[in-house]
Amino acid sequence: MRKVTFRIHALIGVLFIVFLQVKSFSQISVASSNGYQVNLNVYAASINPAPGDCTWGYNFTVKLNYNITFSGSNIPGSLYTLQGTVGCNPGSIFFDLPNNGGSGTITSVNSWNPNSNCGSATVANLGCGLINIQIEGPGISSRTLSISPSSSLAVQLVSFSTALKDNKVKINWATASETDNDYFTIERSADGTAWKEIGKVKGAGTSNSLLSYQSYDEAPIKGTSFYRLKQTDIDGKFSYSATEAVKYSLGKTITIYPVPNSGNTIKLNGATNYKHDLALINTSGTTMYTTTVNQPSVDLPSVPAGIYVIRLTDKTTGETQNIRYVKI
């Protein structure tokens, strides 16, 4: 296991009190192939039964709170699809989310409950727990993600961040409270899909104090890598934080010229070798052209005037660089 160091201390000051209701461990994240990540926090907040007598059953809607953020590079203006279902007795209820993210409250479509408990209907006694979200966007193939109920979480996470410092990745997080929290596991991924444990930090057990944690990945991998926390309770239950991305490079930054370009030939400047895969991508995230670079100049196909991204992937190190390209 790679060496990971850490320290923990109590945070002092009333400034952080505003974070006490944050429930970030109900978040999940999905990484795109374009360099950005989507972080989602969605949970059922309350039940709204239709007014009137419910002797024979009743209609109801679910109020859901959401917080959807984007991080990383090449963030699109909008996803293609972002919608989901919340599992409530006696079935699943559909809802739609804003494709461009943000935070707020939405109300699901009407559903029917055949019981007569409209006066006492709550998220808990209607079993409104697991949320499934369908997502698709530039660099993200269509998939379904599952979010566990936030009410069962043992840790309220104030923050989680990563930063490159002195050829190490510094990892910071803080908690507002912990209940039977055994330990945190730091996980890293090269693609946002396959994860590997790189360290473990003991939790505080049960605490109502504001606590901060610090750790280092002392041997980060080249290129863009992703980090997340896995929090494990004393009874073995676990949950995940949102994902953070870090780009680590020991090589030179490559530039292309001319930009803007009225022709179809570009030259690479700053490459230490010419063993790269090249992809020309439009603003919608569609790959227009791919080739292997084996010389300083590259002939691109004729494309309409506009703004593109040229993605270069070093075939030796796996490091990826996205370069803005303007065709006139």
Co-location of 45 and 135 in the same domain = yes
Max intra-chain CA distance, the chain: 78
- pLDDT reported for residue 12: 33
Boundary residue ending a domain (222, 248, 274): 248
Boundary residue ending a domain (248, 264, 299): 248
CATH number, domain of 294, equals 2.60.40.3580
Co-location of 35 and 142 in the same domain = yes
- pLDDT reported for residue 178: 87
- pLDDT reported for residue 99: 94
Co-location of 181 and 216 in the same domain = yes
Residue 14 lies in a domain: no
Co-location of 117 and 191 in the same domain = no
C-beta separation of 308 from 280 below 8 A: yes
Name 271's Cβ contacts closer than 8 Å, sequence gap at least 6. 252, 254, 293, 296
Co-location of 99 and 58 in the same domain = yes
Co-location of 32 and 145 in the same domain = yes
Classify each residue of 183-194 as buried b or exposed e, where b means 16 or more C-beta atoms within 10 Å of its C-beta. ebbbbbbeebee
Question: 71 burial class (0-12, 13-18, 19+ CB within 10 angstroms)?
Answer: middle
Residue 2 lies in a domain: no
How do residues 152-204 score in pLDDT, each as one tens digit? 456 777 778 888 887 789 999 988 788 889 999 999 988 766 788 999 999 99
Residue 4 lies in a domain: no
Say what the pTM is.
0.45
Boundary residue ending a domain (201, 228, 248): 248
- pLDDT reported for residue 43: 82
C-beta separation of 298 from 265 below 8 A: yes
Co-location of 192 and 263 in the same domain = no
Co-location of 211 and 179 in the same domain = yes
Co-location of 145 and 42 in the same domain = yes
**3-class DSSP assignment, residue 118:** helix
- pLDDT reported for residue 212: 92
Residue 81 lies in a domain: yes
Which tokens hold the place of 154?
A: 């043992």
Identify which of 309, 171, 186, 328 has the alpha carbon closest to the alpha carbon of residue 262: 328
Element (H, E) at 273: none
Residue 168 lies in a domain: yes
Residue 189 lies in a domain: yes
CATH number, domain of 88, equals 2.60.40
What domain count does the chain have?
Answer: 3
- pLDDT reported for residue 273: 66
Co-location of 49 and 82 in the same domain = yes
Name 15's Cβ contacts closer than 8 Å, sequence gap at least 6. none
Which domain range does residue 265 map to?
A: 255-327
- pLDDT reported for residue 8: 41
Co-location of 87 and 112 in the same domain = yes
Residue 5 lies in a domain: no
CATH number, domain of 238, equals 2.60.40.10
Which tokens hold the place of 185?
A: 């596991």
Give the residue ranges of the chain where pLDDT is below 50: 1-25, 150-152
Residue 17 lies in a domain: no
Co-location of 313 and 217 in the same domain = no
Provide φ and ψ at 25, rounded to 5°: -75, 0
Identify which of 318, 33, 38 has the alpha carbon closest to the alpha carbon of residue 191: 33
